[in-house]
Structure 1
Amino acid sequence: MEFKQFDVNKLMYVTNRPELVFTEGSGMWLTDHNGKRYLDYLQGWAVNALGHSPQCIQDALVAQGKKLLNPSPAFYNAPSIELADLLTDNSVFDRVFFANSGAEANEGAIKLARKWGKKNPAANGDARFEIITFKHSFHGRTIATMSASGKDGWDTMFAPQVPGFPKATLNDLASVEKLINKHTVAIMLEPVQGEGGVIPATREFMQGLRKLTQQANLLLIVDEVQTGMGRTGELFAYQLSDIEPDIMTLGKGIGGGVPLAALLARESIACFEAGEQGGTYNGNPLMTAVGVAVMKELLKPGFMQTVRERAEYLRAGSLKLSAKHGFEGERGEGLLRALQLGKDIGPQIVEAARNMGPVGLLLNAPRPNLLRFMPSLNVSNEEIDQMFSMLSDVLVKLGH
């Protein structure tokens, strides 16, 4: 494929991409190689917690880049220690392992749970290794995390799967109980199934899972790669249900746009031994310095309250648009929300919105019958109004 001055044929094909190259970004806006601007409601799939190229991240990269990039994970570095302190001081966890992606953090969580299960076997001495996950869940694209995921078709895509991930149904506690056996070591879930269609776990279900895991001596793992770092209106989504998990994974928003993720665990669960977990770039000071900058922004007085206010504004706008066009409402938590279309027109809307002019709109349809909104956490009411105005124009043009 060639367009203008760009030959993209040297990039390995992994997905269909439109014929545009983004060259600049600021806040909620992206600019392509032709100078066209786009209002961005993907934000790198909820990665850019503070929008594109926020000043605090620019400053952190420049300052740390002049000091130290990577001394290797065989040594301590100051930014990783500071970020670990910030995360543990503001959560129920005691230990942190830094990684480069959400999938890698989830892979680490699986390893840690199985290690803990080996040290805490069943009453008859049998090994415990099975982790109950959920239909329609998404935990990453490594072989193990694809096996843990509940996406349709992933059980055969790179067969054979890694065994040990029976699938329950979200918000159905009985379906979880049926799967527990002598080999079960943990239950792992997203507090909101993002790729599955922005489906929140109910407060009652989360509390029921915590009670069930405590009674059965199982670990509760929350995959907060998409929901963590303020996305749901709380710093971490588990806080919405007033529970205390055993393990949590973070990604996307923690780096605000750079490759950073984290695996967090309680002291009694953190049982890795030397050589069992690592990685060349894990916890490097350049990325963790950015994580510190992001975390400090989220912890500023009033920031999370503003996220909750913007979330309510987005929710109200979605309901108004839904009523106007005869859709089926909306759902979600915080600034991770979905407009339920009631018909499979999502991909059509996404393409038309991107191609509208002179300004485009970037949207996402993880399921064909809905649109997912993932703006930056500091999105303005005016940018929310502008999105709905543009989206309404697209719907009218398409006859919806």
Structure 2
Amino acid sequence: MSHVLSTYARFPVTLVRGEGTRVWDDHDKSYLDFCTGIAVCSLGHCHPRLVETIRAQAGTLMHVSNLYSTRQQEELAQVIVEDHVKLPGKVFFANSGAEANDGLIKSARKFGHARPQADGSPRYEVLSFTKSFHGRTLGGINATGQDKVKEGFDPMLPGFRHLPFNDLAALEAAIAPETAAILLEPVQGEGGVNVATPEFLRGVAALCKKHDLLLMLDEVQTGYGRCGQAMAWRQIAPEIQPDAISWAKGMGGGFPIGAFWLSDRSIDASGKELSSLMGPGTHGTTYGGNPLACASSLAVLAEIAEKDLNANALKQEERIRETIASWNLPVITEVRGIGLLLGVGLDVSKFEVPAGKLPAGFVCGKLLEAGLLVPPAGPETIRLLPPLNVSDEEIDEALAIFKSVLVAL
């Protein structure tokens, strides 16, 4: 009997160790890991650089209160702002993507107080999109455009509405006097791997400027090389300038860390900066940004940059797309996504699914049996999320397993 809450519908496997792109279960069966903790293990498992960094930092200083500064936190913030975002701003460190997105929501509320409605009442509403996913905190599920994460948690918090993704006209029509911000994922990961079009991202940015709204990007799953650039929005519409960004997952390579960034842009005639709204007492965390987490992230981001793993993500995307297209399998409807955040759509009319199972979850179970770990993304999409340093040979091996399972179905 397990003493762990049954909040996950777990696959029937117990993993005990990993190395690179492979993991082993408690029966010593090996698997290619194209789930990577859901886009977390950017460098694969037990990467020597990350392991040595953790060992060294753990023997020096693991945790101090955020009442004090640490060199690792200051250095990581500088790297993020100067080398990755490349726009003036400030960073807050958290422990997860859900926490980072809660920070964005609080920042939007602060902005709505600083830039109120015409009658002086604060703006508070955050507009997001159907099929989005922004975490499982109360703030996160309210921002998420999927009803399944909200069931049983009524009443919902006020100040959130969800609109059709990539529909600029619907978004413009929905903006109201109380609207303060627009929150979106450049690529919707959990919702089916749906990519924002360049026209949509540009249009959202223009609407934010027109109506004095914050443009907030959720890069929790897409950021730091997963989609071929440090920031996924730059792969889609590089000319836009967001006001706020959230991250987590791959930035720690497996060590828990999250963060959000706020722009230093002026928000009024006095020159007050957006980032200044989140001052002392407005937000906090006990563990976020501790020396061990920040040192781990610095090692991961340095390895990605030095080995140009962004380029490998785009190279492997092209190889995956070409290989899957060459199969000409009717069960595959399309391949969506960017870089190594890819979704393979399934025609569920082409195979039988046991009662009580969702098609994508059923296929993921068959792939696990064959030695490939992948997660679903909605009921009819399989996600491919290998490490950013995955090799040609590992891609070929995984795709051979994938094809064999689909053909058998």
- TM-score relative to the length of structure 2: 0.92
Determine the C-alpha separation between the residues in 2 that align with 1:364 and 1:282. Answer: 27
Q: Does 1:329 align with 2:340?
A: no
Structure 2 residue corresponding to 1:378, chosen from 389, 402, 406: 389
Residue 299 of structure 2: aligned partner? 293
Residue 394 of structure 1: aligned partner? 405
Pairing 1:340-355 to 2, within 5 Å after superposition = 340-343=345-348, 345-355=359-369
Structure 1 residue corresponding to 2:311, chosen from 301, 305, 311: 305
**1:326 Cα deviation (Å)?**
4.5
Q: Write out per-residue CA displacement over residues 166-214 of structure 1, whole angstroms, 9 at most, x where no aligned residue.
A: 1111100111111111101000000011111000000110011001101
Contact 1:343–1:368 under 8 Å retained in 2: no
Structure 2 residue corresponding to 1:39, chosen from 28, 32, 39: 32
Contact 1:219–1:247 under 8 Å retained in 2: yes
**1:301 Cα deviation (Å)?**
5.8
Q: Percent identity?
A: 38
Determine the C-alpha separation between the residues in 1 that align with 2:365 and 2:71. Answer: 45
Residue 244 of structure 2: aligned partner? 247
Q: Does 1:137 align with 2:93?
A: no
Determine the C-alpha separation between the residues in 2 that align with 1:303 and 1:367. Answer: 28
Q: Does 1:75 align with 2:68?
A: yes
Q: Does 1:279 align with 2:288?
A: no
Runs ≥4 residues deviating over 4 A: none
Residue 253 of structure 2: aligned partner? 256
Determine the C-alpha separation between the residues in 1 that align with 2:222 and 2:110. Answer: 26
Q: Write out per-residue CA displacement over residues 106-148 of structure 1, whole angstroms, 9 at most, x where no aligned residue.
A: 0001001111110111222121000101111100000111011
**1:37 Cα deviation (Å)?**
0.3
SS in 2 for 1:328: strand
Q: Does 1:177 align with 2:172?
A: yes
Q: Does 1:339 align with 2:350?
A: no
> What one-letter code is carried by the residue in structure 2 that aligns with 1:317?
T
**1:383 Cα deviation (Å)?**
0.8
Q: Does 1:85 align with 2:82?
A: no
Structure 2 residue corresponding to 1:234, chosen from 229, 233, 249: 229
> What one-letter code is carried by the residue in structure 1 that aligns with 2:70?
N
> What one-letter code is carried by the residue in structure 2 that aligns with 1:364?
P
Residue 318 of structure 1: aligned partner? 324
Contact 2:16–2:26 under 8 Å retained in 1: yes
Q: CA RMSD in A?
A: 1.3
SS in 2 for 1:39: strand
CA 152–255 in structure 1, closer or farther in 2 if over 3 Å, else same: same
Contact 1:188–1:223 under 8 Å retained in 2: yes
> What one-letter code is carried by the residue in structure 1 that aligns with 2:384?
F
**1:16 Cα deviation (Å)?**
2.1
Residue 210 of structure 1: aligned partner? 205
Contact 2:331–2:348 under 8 Å retained in 1: no
Q: Write out per-residue CA displacement over residues 231-262 of structure 1, whole angstroms, 9 at most, x where no aligned residue.
A: 11011011121111000000100111011001
Residue 268 of structure 2: aligned partner? none
Segments of 5+ residues of structure 1 without an aligned counterpart are 2-8
Determine the C-alpha separation between the residues in 2 that align with 1:27 and 1:301. Answer: 15
> What one-letter code is carried by the residue in structure 2 that aligns with 1:65?
A
SS in 1 for 2:383: strand
**1:352 Cα deviation (Å)?**
1.2
Determine the C-alpha separation between the residues in 2 that align with 1:18 and 1:282. Answer: 30
Determine the C-alpha separation between the residues in 1 that align with 2:299 and 2:40. Answer: 15
**1:346 Cα deviation (Å)?**
2.1
Determine the C-alpha separation between the residues in 1 that align with 2:147 and 2:177. Answer: 27
Larger CA deviation: 187-196 vs 146-155 = 146-155
Q: Write out per-residue CA displacement over residues 71-121 of structure 1, whole angstroms, 9 at most, x where no aligned residue.
A: 111100111111101000021241000000000000001001111110111
Contact 1:21–1:32 under 8 Å retained in 2: yes
Larger CA deviation: 27-36 vs 10-19 = 10-19
SS in 2 for 1:178: helix
Q: Does 1:192 align with 2:187?
A: yes
> What one-letter code is carried by the residue in structure 2 that aligns with 1:59?
E
Segments of 5+ residues of structure 2 without an aligned counterpart are 265-272, 350-358
Q: How many aligned residue pairs are there?
A: 387
CA 255–200 in structure 1, closer or farther in 2 if over 3 Å, else same: same
Determine the C-alpha separation between the residues in 1 that align with 2:132 and 2:95. Answer: 21
SS in 2 for 1:371: strand
Q: Write out per-residue CA displacement over residues 266-309 of structure 1, whole angstroms, 9 at most, x where no aligned residue.
A: 12221112111111101100001001001111222633222211
SS in 2 for 1:331: strand
Determine the C-alpha separation between the residues in 2 that align with 1:169 and 1:370. Answer: 19
Contact 2:225–2:309 under 8 Å retained in 1: no
CA 29–23 in structure 1, closer or farther in 2 if over 3 Å, else same: same
Larger CA deviation: 153-162 vs 89-98 = 153-162
Determine the C-alpha separation between the residues in 2 that align with 1:193 and 1:38. Answer: 26
SS in 1 for 2:104: helix
Determine the C-alpha separation between the residues in 1 that align with 2:310 and 2:380. Answer: 30
SS in 2 for 1:186: strand
Contact 1:318–1:329 under 8 Å retained in 2: no
Structure 2 residue corresponding to 1:20, chosen from 10, 13, 16: 13
Contact 1:56–1:293 under 8 Å retained in 2: yes
> What one-letter code is carried by the residue in structure 2 that aligns with 1:300?
E
